[in-house]
Structure 1
């Protein structure tokens, strides 16, 4: 079984390069080569931006979704991790590749280190 086709949300670095994506309603974050690189452990919480912090498959902080960007906080308050999600099935191909306008990261954020986006 594979992840169904649906509208994908593309995530970019501050330079506008497409680095990751996810499907709304699914807790998984994928890199541009369909490798699982993270998940949204707090997506069920009610907040202005429920899909915010992303943990990698080893439950370490990977980054934070800020609009259409995946950025790393330079300082972050620890949060307790809820029940872990099971490892996902590989999705059906990445969505079309886009490039976004380059934007400087907000204060307190930086780009996620490239090696953290490689997946398994």
Structure 2
């Protein structure tokens, strides 16, 4: 797995489903993940460990893992203790406009995050 990459020309990191649909984004240095309508859908409890960014939803349940520029869910994962929880964020100023990314098959052991889990608060 490669670490998340920044899109050209902006500070925000855009995350896509395997079919190339833009589904979420985050700002490096902040622990929050937002859907495409500025709704808080997750956070990074452990930061980046070994090039891996796992995401928990606002209720502290596993949401997915950042794999390159994709937000995918592991099919099997070992539970980890949740560190100190972050406070609920203020809504950001609108997400940037983003085009689709190229469709790719998820890596072995990953599937797309269920769209219902990306609706936010």
1:25-60, Cα deviation, whole Å (9 max, x unpaired): 0000000000000000001x6x3315x110000000
Which residue of the partner structure matches residue 53 of structure 1?
54
* Normalised TM-score (structure 2): 0.89
Please tell me whether residue 33 in structure 1 is matched to residue 34 in structure 2.
no
1:44-83 aligned at under 5 Å gives the runs 47-50=49-52, 52-83=53-84
The two structures, once aligned, show a CA RMSD in angstroms of 1.1
Runs ≥4 in structure 1, deviation > 4 angstroms?
none
SS at match of 1:11: strand
1:100-115 aligned at under 5 Å gives the runs 100-115=101-116
Question: For the residues of structure 2 that align with 1:82 and 1:98, how far apart are their CA atoms?
Answer: 35
Question: For the residues of structure 1 that align with 2:110 and 2:21, how far apart are their CA atoms?
Answer: 16
SS at match of 2:23: strand
Question: For the residues of structure 1 that align with 2:96 and 2:65, how far apart are their CA atoms?
Answer: 21
- Which consecutive unaligned segments of at least 5 residues does structure 1 have? 1-5
**Aligned length, in residue pairs:** 112
- Cα distance, 1:76 vs. partner? 0.3
Question: For the residues of structure 1 that align with 2:50 and 2:104, how far apart are their CA atoms?
Answer: 22
Which residue of the partner structure matches residue 3 of structure 1?
none
